[in-house]
Amino acid sequence: MVHEAAVEMFVGGLVLDPATQAPIVVLKDESGQVTLPIWIGIAEATSIASAIKQVSMARPLTHDLFYELLLELGITVQRIVITELKDSTYFAELILGQGDRVLVLDARPSDAIAMALRATAPIYVAQAVLDQARIAFASQSGEPSPAPQHGEQEINQEEGKEEEESSKDFRAIDKDKWNEILSQLDADDFKYKM
């Protein structure tokens, strides 16, 4: 896919949806004015959190294993791009490089973000996705909008801030606390609807 316009974003934090307790990764632009909340699974949240906090696990997580495999094969993670919002689902591409060769893989945004964090690769969101999500939120909030409603996986500059403030902010938890939280997780905690 050719990316005409995309905005570089950063992981602003992980929060819990106050209603469902589902993890949300919050992406922010450099100014902090644009936020993009994406609902993710607990396994991906754990992987993203371990990368943010640089927590070493006793055994490698799936993203750790995949990243190590890429390194062994001489493949680098160049960037990720969240390319599309369709039926309340975000789509992403993992852009890899091997010498002069560029590989573009379809990925879930949560997996792509987990890989980008491990590789310290940039995270981009297509401007069209940000625009579409903003329009969808306006539709949900009762403002006139040509776009259909898309559920809770939408963007709003203010809503993301309110959600982040009203939810538990995982960035405030130190490494030791993360180790404790992760060690207490049960296998059933990692089951989630796909």
Q: Render pLDDT for 25-45 as a digit per residue (tens, 0 to 9).
A: 999 999 888 889 999 999 999
Let me know if residue 174 belongs to a domain: yes
Q: What is the CATH number of the domain that holds 139?
A: 3.10.690.10
Let me know if residue 193 belongs to a domain: no
Write down the pLDDT at residue 18: 85
- The range of the structural domain enclosing residue 155 comes to 6-188
Instruction: State the average pLDDT over residues 43-68.
Output: 91
Position 58 confidence tier, pLDDT thresholds 50, 70, 90: confident
Let me know if residue 1 belongs to a domain: no
Burial class (CB in 10 A: 0-12, 13-18, 19+), 10: middle
What is the distance between the alpha carbons of residues 27 and 34, in angstroms, rounded to a whole number?
8
What is the distance between the alpha carbons of residues 161 and 69, in angstroms, rounded to a whole number?
37
Give this prediction's pTM.
Answer: 0.70
Let me know if residue 194 belongs to a domain: no
Write down the pLDDT at residue 139: 55
How many structural domains compose the chain?
1
Let me know if residue 175 belongs to a domain: yes
- Average pLDDT over the chain, rounded to an integer: 77
Summarised one tens digit per residue, pLDDT across range 146-155 is 332 223 343 3
Summarised one tens digit per residue, pLDDT across range 77-129 is 999 999 999 988 999 999 999 999 999 999 999 999 999 999 999 999 999 99
Let me know if residue 160 belongs to a domain: yes
Backbone angles phi, psi at 169, to 5 degrees: -95, 115
Contacts of 166 (CB under 8 A, 6+ apart): 18
Let me know if residue 159 belongs to a domain: yes
Backbone angles phi, psi at 125, to 5 degrees: -125, 125
Let me know if residue 98 belongs to a domain: yes
Residue with the bigger pLDDT between 57 and 136: it is 57
